[in-house]
Amino acid sequence: MVDVTKADYSIDASRVYATGHSNGSAMTWRLAQDAPEYFTAVAPIGFNWGSYPGYTTSGGTVDVQTMNICFLFGA
């Protein structure tokens, strides 16, 4: 989707962000893990790690040294 958007529109590729709430938050973490070269920052909101068995053992990690992350979680 990012590649198509870059090809079809004049966007600043250094300012592409991902965010999502609940299941969208899980997808945000997954994007940070699997496709960090596309995103400048991610902002997952309200993700419950315990709701997704095996998610943390998918083999990937998010490089917090190079990825800007704003993780919002609250009750």
This prediction's pTM: 0.73
| Closest C-alpha to 15, from 44, 41, 45, 43 | 41
Question: Which tens digits make up the pLDDT trace of 49-68?
Answer: 655 544 444 455 666 677 88
**Which of 18, 67, 66 has its CA nearest to residue 45?**
18
User: What is the spatial distance between Cα 5 and Cα 67, in angstroms, rounded to a whole number?
Assistant: 21
| pLDDT < 70 regions, the chain | 48-64, 75
Closest CA to 30 of 6, 53, 56: 56
Residue 30 structure tokens: 């997954």
